[in-house]
Structures are given as C-alpha cells and as structure tokens.
Chain A
Amino acid sequence: MTYLPLIGIALVVAGFALRFNPLLVVAVAAVATGLLAGLPFVKVLATLGKSFNDNRYVSIIWIVLPVIGVLERYGLQQQARTLIGRMRGATTGRILLAYLGFRQIFAALGLTSVAGHPQTVRPLVAPMAEAAAEKEHGELDEDTREKVKALSAATDNVGLFFGEDIFIAIGSILLIQGSMAGFGIELTPLHLSLWAIPTAICAFFIHGTRLLLFDRKLGRSR
C-alpha cells in the first residue's frame, strides 16, 4: 500500500490554513489525491463531477433565502429585537439555552430541516440573542457582537448533532447498523438510538452551562 494519496489531505490542511479560496483548495486536493493514487485524470474528473451532481440536494436549502430576504426587507430582524426587548428576564444565554433544547428535541423526532442556519438562526435566533445582550449590557462592541452571533450558530450545530441520532431513521443510525451488519453483528435502530441519549444529555449540560456562563461574561466585560 502507498501513502502517497495522503498528500491530498496535507494539501487541504495547508490550503485552509493559508486561507486560499476553499473551493480551489478542495478541487486541487481532489485532483492531486486521485492522480497520486494512480487514477487517470479523466477518471478523477468524472468521479468529482458525478458526486457533485449526486449531492445537489445539499444546496437545495438556499430556496428559503427569497422568503427570509423579503421578510428582512420589511423588518423581520428589527421585530425579533423588539420582541426580546419587551421580554423580561430574556438574556442571551437563556434564549440560546431554550433554542438548544428545542433543536435537540425536534432533531430527535427526525425533524432536522425544521430549523437551521438559513431558516432560523440568521432571521430569528441571532438577532434575538444580540438584542438580549444589548438590552442587558447596552451597545455591544464589534468583538462581543461577533461572539454572540457565532455562539448562536454553534448552538444550532450542537443541538442538531446531539439530537438527531436519537431518531431511529436518520442516516447515521442506518450507517452504523449497516457497517456492523457487514461484520455479522445484528443491531436494531432502536437499540442504537437509545445509546445516543447519554451523549445528548451531556451535550445539553455542557453547552447549556457555557451559555449561562456567557451571560456572566457579558456582564463582567463592562
């Protein structure tokens, strides 16, 4: 066996670290990896093209943008802020904690596309989290505003990742079942999804604690 194709991985790491355009990094790494493994260029290009075409569904999500955009034109983000401004006791941490729970539960029910960065985080969650921080602590500096937004996106990811595996018909559960079946080990999806619960609880407590601590940190920074 040759280790040459691993150079492709090194190219990806170097390309991302040096902040070249990621699309370019990925294309160069793909071609290099294929060629180093001894595949002809035409075959590499065809593999790349076929998989790109098969994965178009990944980019379907952008069809929500016209709706989000038109609502933003009429003040959706501003209204999200106003609403939080009126709520007593709404802090950045508590809002994100509620969203974390909501996201985990819905993902556990198999409803992963119900929320997401374009559908919920940009139009609703991030503006609400920002508004709550402003209400408690006044105008935010650039750095703090960035952190609040980034934490909103991170909360969506944590909620999704550590909720979805509790649902029995999600791709990852089926993959685990299929991989194990390849070794003659028969598992039921229900059995696997039960073992996703301890990690889901840990994720809620670890990330939830961080969210509440974030409120304190916001308070201290002024």
Chain B
Amino acid sequence: MITLQWLYVLTGAMFAAFAVLSARDRSNRKRFGNAVFWALVATSFWFGDYLGDLGNGILVLAIVAVAGAHFVGRGETLSTSIEQRVEFARRLGSKLFLPALIIPITAFFGTLLFNYTPLKDTGLIDPKATTLVLLGIGVLIALGVCYAWLRPPALAPVDEGRRLMDSIGWAGILPQMLAALGAVFAAAGVGNIIGGIAGAVIPSGSVFLAVVLYAVGMALFTIIMGNAFAAFPVMVAAIGVPILVHGAGADPAVIGAVGMLSGFCGTLLTPMAANFNIVPAALLELKDQYGVIRMQVATAIPLFVCNILILYFAGYAWAH
C-alpha cells in the first residue's frame, strides 16, 4: 500500500538535493546556512520516525537556531533571463500549461477514480492520504513529461525547485512549527483557560449578546492560535452548547457549522495561520510580509457580521 511514508521519503530526497545544490550556489552569501537548514528538514522527513519525541524536539531546536540566527538567505541569479523566457514562451505557447495542469488533474480524477470505483478496496493507496499520494504521483508524471518534452539539463528541476524554496526560506516550515506550538498550548491547558474566561464574561438574558460573544470568541481565539480547529472545541464547550443550545434552544447544526466559519474569518486575519497568510507573501515575493492579510481584512469583517446574523436568525430567532 502506498502510504504517507512514501511521500515522506520522496520529500526528504527533494530537501536533501536542495541542501546539496544550496551549498553550491555561489550567488548566495549564506549558502552553507541554507544547506544546513534544508539538510535538517530532510533529516526530519527521512528519519523523524526513528528519532523519538525528544530527538525530534532537539531537531526542531536546531532548525529554529539556524533560522533564528539569520543563517538562511537566497541567491541572486536566474537560470534563464526574462528575455529568454519570453522567447521560450513565444515558441512553446500555451502547451506550457499542460504539465502544470497534470498535477491538479491527477489529484482530481485520481481521487474520484479511487474513491468511487472498486480500486478503493484493492488497498493500493492509504485511504487517509489519497489526495496527497495522488498529488505526489501527479508531480512525478509532470516531471516525466517535462523531461521528455523540454529536455532541460538533468538537474534543472531540482535547481529550479531549490531556487523557489530558497525564496520562501524558513517560512516554508512555519506552518508545521505552528502546529507543534498548538500541541504545546493544548498540553499546557491554554484552551481551558480561555474557555473559562469566555464563559465568565457572558451576560445573562440576551441571546443576541451571547451569539456575538460566541462568534467573537471563536474568531479571537482563532487569531491567537492560527487555527479554527483549536478554537472550536473550547468555544463550543464554553458558550455554544451550555448557553446557546441548552440554554436558549438554538439549532446545534447552525451553531456548529457557522461557529466554525466565524473562526475561519479569524484565520484570514492572523499571521499565525502562516501557510495561508505568510507563506504566500514569501512565495509571491511581496515586500510586506503581512500584505495578504491586509487584503483580507475588508472581506473578513463584513463576512464575520454575516455569520453573526446567520447564527442569530437561522440558529435562534427563526427557529422559535
């Protein structure tokens, strides 16, 4: 069976290759810092399951030390100049999109094919990781097509991938790091503390105010944790179920579904949701690391107000 393990080996190999090529990039003043950084990430992908929890913790500290000491940088040179790229594009035309589309198409039709045919029972792919595994297969197919069609130098994909990865830098593993922070917050009981505070400030009598507090708490706690999943159980236990569902008789489906979506409005506003808000800023080479968040404020706030209205009217007022 193809499991996540296979993908970890593949991803580890890619990061190991990034490390080697980083060390050779003379246009990067910090090339050895980059090499060490990607080598540590490769170590995590290849050997993480054999290091033990404490070993992984030490690995995390090492990764953080390299990034925190500003040892990670980026090179300057482009492989082909902009003029050459314009010329390539003129010659190759829109067929250039095809290899890029192979990845989502493989993931899309592959997932459908796998989930809705007897293939599901063959045990070929771990059902918990179907789309990710198919994404990986799509990448390999697309690479094969690129080699056969464009005939790039043998190391070009790794070198180009490394260039993009270096432009993202440490931000590339920030999402994984924040997930780890969430686990420590949970172990330290941060959720219970916040739930306790939220439950204590609730006014009695006004269902509308309770709804507002529920949604605001969900969004604020999501902003702090970077993840609505961490906020949801806490706010449901503090306000959602005891005060809204049991106390006021609100519809639990609305309280649950729209409560979560109120949290998602918070996700749009926080640098803690790094993979959505900080990583793209790096990936698109924005000057302002909070540029994506700034663009989301004017959608998140009106949408949050809509959520409060849906919670109140569909969840409570119209149901009575």
List residues of chain A with CB under 8 Å of any chain B CB: 1, 3, 5-6, 8-9, 12-13, 16, 19, 21-24, 26-27, 29-30, 33-34, 36-37, 39, 42-80, 82-83, 106, 110-115, 117-124, 126, 142, 146-147, 149-154, 156-158, 160-162, 165, 171-173, 175-177, 179-180, 183, 185, 187, 191-196, 198-199, 202-203, 206-207, 210
- Other A-B pairs beyond A37-B187, A194-B253, A199-B310, 11, CB < 8 Å: A16-B271, A49-B52, A49-B60, A56-B176, A62-B168, A112-B131, A119-B100, A165-B260, A193-B257, A195-B314, A198-B306
- Contact (Cβ within 8 A) A179 B180: no
- Contact (Cβ within 8 A) A73 B64: no
**Is B73 close to A, CB under 8 A?**
no
- Contact (Cβ within 8 A) A123 B100: yes
B260-280 vs A, CB cutoff 8 Å, 1 = contact: the mask equals 110010011001101111111
Set of chain A residues within 8 Å of B20, measured between Cβ atoms: none
Q: Could you tell me the distance between the alpha carbons of A183 and B255 in the complex, rounded to whole angstroms?
A: 13
The answer, among B8, B10, B63, B232, for a CB contact under 8 Å with A23, is B63
Q: What is the number of contacts between chain A and chain B, taking CB atoms within 8 Å?
A: 440
Closest chain A residue, CB of each to CB of B14: A63
Set of chain A residues within 8 Å of B192, measured between Cβ atoms: 1
Closest chain A residue, CB of each to CB of B234: A179
- Contact (Cβ within 8 A) B275 A175: no
B280-302 vs A, CB cutoff 8 Å, 1 = contact: the mask equals 11011011110110111011001
Chain B residues bordering chain A, tally (CB within 8 A): 145
List residues of chain B with CB under 8 Å of any chain A CB: 4, 7-8, 10-11, 14, 41, 44-45, 48-49, 51-61, 63-64, 67-68, 70, 79-80, 82, 84-90, 92-94, 96-97, 99-100, 103-104, 107-108, 111, 129, 131-132, 135-136, 139, 142-143, 146, 150, 152, 156-165, 168, 170-185, 187-190, 192-194, 196, 224, 228-229, 232-233, 236-237, 241, 245, 252-254, 256-261, 264, 267-268, 271-272, 274-281, 283-284, 286-289, 291-292, 294-296, 298-299, 302-303, 306-307, 310, 314
